[in-house]
Amino acid sequence: MSDSPIFPPEPRTDINNLPRSMKGVVGRSAKLIETFRIIDRVAKTDCTVLITGESGTGKELVARAVHEHSNRSSGPLVTVNCGAIPEALLESELFGHARGAFTGAAGARIGRIQAAEGGTLFLDEVGELPLSLQVKLLRVLQYKEYSPVGDGRVLTANIRVVAATNVDLEAAVREGTFREDLFYRLNVIHVRTPALKERDGDVRLLLDHFFDLARQRLGREDLTGFSLEAKAALEAYEWPGNVRELENTLERAILLSAGPLIDLSDLPERVLGRSGIARTVQTSLPEVGIDLRRAVESFENQLIQQALERTGWNKKQAASLLGINRTTLVEMLKRKRLERAA
């Protein structure tokens, strides 16, 4: 089975011509831009979209972008987390129920499908949908028809379906836990959300974004930013939990930090333990003491030198790696008398 999209991502990326659907999205990496270019090309259609990717990569953000840039944007976007609702209640949540359909059904109730009429139904964690309901969802996708629980009427659904999962649905089909025909109905357009470790340069942008948001929300206006060592450690970490983990880690650091800078001591052990840069700066204090200013100056010089060498002495790019302005880097090079080796 192939999950190749009908509209494959464009190989060339121009950050000066960002996709319309990317408005407000934090990130400028090539893979992220390619993802939103696909959204630009399919949003206006009514095709079903299947979004896959690791947990925490922003699948709901992509689903919202599909809806907001579609012809259904004036209609509702209704979300159903298929893994969070008990199986016994999920059918009623999706399709609604008639009065007396089951114990406790004192009155008729519309389901999420009817609530999404004229708009988009987003089925999050669709891989968790029970087999008994998969065939009923298939009917909605094939014929745009469904019946509420305990109701003989056949209703018409004027909706677009967007689904998301971090489960390998092809493997689930082979294992018999997901219907093959439903998989093909969902997988008309396949959009993959890239993991954060694949998004070159986006960690820095996300750190600054979430720092500003959390600092204001938590009332930590006394914090001014990150120490050089802390930012290096955060950027070196691979973020297996992706954007969600980054946001939660930063919020914790902002709550715990004594300020004015977030430092290595404010970061959790998992970040320090899996960051090569963090390990290099966790040195022990010698018994005879240390010249702190000289040690900090030496470490700073090493990072500046590494950034310059990595970028071929392109000062703008090196400054970006270090999280400072180009003019600041130029001034530091003059003050430190650091020059490129002949």
- pLDDT tens profile 199-224: 988 999 999 999 999 999 999 999 99
CATH label of the domain that carries residue 315: 1.10.10.60
Q: Are residues 108 and 188 in the same domain?
A: yes
Q: Are residues 152 and 300 in the same domain?
A: no
Question: Do 108 and 99 touch, CB atoms closer than 8 A?
Answer: yes
184 located within any domain: yes
Full residue range of the structural domain in which residue 148 is found? 20-194
Structural domain ending residue among the three candidates 194, 214, 243: 194
CA dihedral of 189, 195, 199, 201, whole degrees rounded to 10: 150
Residue with tokens 């990717």: 53
pLDDT at 16: 59
8 pLDDT band (50/70/90 cuts)?
A: very low
Residues 112-150 pLDDT 10s: 999 999 999 999 999 999 998 999 999 999 999 988 877
pLDDT at 228: 83
Structural domain ending residue among the three candidates 194, 214, 235: 194
**How far is Cα 285 from Cα 265, in angstroms, rounded to an integer?**
15
Question: Do 70 and 120 touch, CB atoms closer than 8 A?
Answer: yes
Average pLDDT, the chain: 85
CATH label of the domain that carries residue 235: 1.10.8.60
CATH label of the domain that carries residue 66: 3.40.50.300
5 located within any domain: no
Structural domain ending residue among the three candidates 242, 265, 284: 284
11 located within any domain: no
Dihedral of CA 84/177/79/9: which sign? Answer: positive
pLDDT at 155: 87
Q: Is the pLDDT of residue 53 over 70?
A: yes
Between 259 and 135, the higher pLDDT residue = 135
Number of domains comprising the chain? 3
Q: Are residues 276 and 329 in the same domain?
A: no
Q: Are residues 127 and 147 in the same domain?
A: yes
Residues 153-172 pLDDT 10s: 888 999 999 999 999 999 99
Between 270 and 73, the higher pLDDT residue = 73
Percent share of the chain, pLDDT over 90: 53
296 pLDDT band (50/70/90 cuts)?
A: confident
Q: Are residues 189 and 208 in the same domain?
A: no
**How far is Cα 259 from Cα 16, in angstroms, rounded to an integer?**
36
Between 104 and 147, the higher pLDDT residue = 147
Q: Are residues 169 and 242 in the same domain?
A: no
pLDDT at 62: 96
**How far is Cα 1 from Cα 18, in angstroms, rounded to an integer?**
32
Q: Are residues 90 and 167 in the same domain?
A: yes
323 located within any domain: yes
